Amino acid sequence: DAKTTQPPSMDCAEGRAANLPCNHSTISGNEYVYWYRQIHSQGPQYIIHGLKNNETNEMASLIITEDRKSSTLILPHATLRDTAVYYCIVRAFLDGNKLVFGAGTILRVKS
């Protein structure tokens, strides 16, 4: 599995954009980048995924660099309910479809 590196924690002001970085320099050509989050005491929640192109959905945007060695998850207008651990995962596509979670980034949204 390609490994990811994320900062252990970040703070963001409520209403501002939260930009969460992720490095995945050993990513393979057919591996996707996934983002999940885990709000306290709940199960992880799927946010978004992408291969090469930038992606956007109702929750967030995903920006992947041209060399695919890093990406950024953007929450455009963070709210207090976005406080969670955010996981950047490179999908082990050929390895039984499993997701391997790292330590993630604790995002604290403050009022």
Partner 1 sequence: DTAVSQTPKYLVTQMGNDKSIKCEQNLGHDTMYWYKQDSKKFLKIMFSYNNKELIINETVPNRFSPKSPDKAHLNLHINSLELGDSAVYFCASSPNVGRGNYGYTFGSGTRLTVV
Please choose, out of 4-12, 17-25, 75-83, 93-101, the segment that lies near partner 1 by the rule CB under 8 A.
93-101
22 touches 103 (CB < 8 A): no
Q: What Cα–Cα distance (Å) separates residue 104 from each residue in 4, 30, 51?
A: 9, 22, 20
- Which residue number, 13 or 103, has a Cβ lying nearer to partner 1? 103
Closest CA to 84 of 34, 40, 18, 22: 40
Select from 32, 63, 72, 108 the one that contacts partner 1 (CB under 8 A).
32
* Contact between 63 and partner 1 per CB under 8 A: no
What ranges make up the beta strands (E) of 33-75?
Answer: 33-38, 45-50, 55-56, 61-64, 70-75
Please choose, out of 8-16, 20-28, 76-84, 91-99, the segment that lies near partner 1 by the rule CB under 8 A.
91-99
* Contact between 46 and partner 1 per CB under 8 A: yes
* Contact between 68 and partner 1 per CB under 8 A: no
Residue ranges that bind partner 1, judged by CB under 8 A: 32, 34, 36, 38, 41-46, 49, 51, 85, 87, 91, 93, 96-101, 103
